[in-house]
Amino acid sequence: MDEGLGKRLFDFAVRVIKYCRTFPKTKEYDIIKNQLIKSATSSGANYEEAQGASSKADFVNKIKIALKEMRESNYWLKIIREIKTPDSELQSLIQESSELMKILGAISSKASK
């Protein structure tokens, strides 16, 4: 679809990985870091898979998975906001995940029609 969206999803995943490197070394943060990195990278990966979809149904399915994974990323980022002193990068990541959810949701809605 849009090279711009693919790049945004890729950049979001990289930013999440780098941000997670700043977390304290605790069991709780290790769990959150693992879940957040998995969902953030999965969203972009599923979007990329959608670009090579074998059918419209396959495309819609991959986009829906990308959206679900972005929603999960947004959830973990909000948890971090509640347990850690928020900083500008965290606020920016929450904002970006919200925008990406809206974009993926719009693509899903249009493609499902």
What ranges do the domains of the chain cover? 3-112
Q: What integer pLDDT is reported at residue 85 of this predicted model?
A: 87
CATH class of 3-112: mainly alpha
Q: What integer pLDDT is reported at residue 1 of this predicted model?
A: 40
DSSP-assigned states of every residue in 38-91: HHHHHHHHHHHHHHT-SSHHHHHHHHHHHHHHHHHHHHHHHHHHHHS---HHHH
Q: What integer pLDDT is reported at residue 3 of this predicted model?
A: 67
Instruction: Divide the 113 residues of the chain into consecutive groups of 10 and give the mean pLDDT of each group.
Output: 83 98 96 98 97 95 98 98 93 98 96 86
Q: What integer pLDDT is reported at residue 60 of this predicted model?
A: 96
